[in-house]
Amino acid sequence: MIKIPYLTALSTYFSYGLLFAFGQFRDFFRKIFDWFHSSNLQGYAPICLGLEDFYIRRLYLRIQDCFGRPISSSPDAWFDVVERYSNDNNKTLTRTTKVSRCLNLGSYNYLGFAAADEYCTPRVIETLKRFSPSTCSPRVDGGTTTLHNELEECVANFVGKASCHSFWHGLCHKLCHPSCFDRKGRIDN
pLDDT digits (tens, 9 = 90+) for 31-74: 887 776 666 777 777 777 777 888 888 888 888 888 888 989 88
Q: For residue range 149-159, what is the model confidence (pLDDT) as tens digits? A: 888 899 999 99
In terms of pLDDT, which residue wins out, 188 or 137? 137
Beta strands in the chain (DSSP E): 78-85, 94-103
Query: What is the reported pLDDT for 43?
Result: 78
**Angle value at C-alpha 150, between 160 and 120, nearest 5 degrees:** 110
Asked if residue 189 has pLDDT above 50, the reply is: no
Angle at 158 between CA 152 and CA 161, to 5 degrees: 70
Report the pLDDT averaged over residues 166-182: 60
pLDDT level of residue 176 (50, 70, 90 thresholds): low
Closest to 68 measured CA to CA, from 78, 76, 60, 57: 60
Averaged pLDDT for residues 113-123:
76
Buried b (16+ CB within 10 A) or exposed e, 105-135: eeeeeeebebbeeeeeeeeeeeeeeeeeeeb
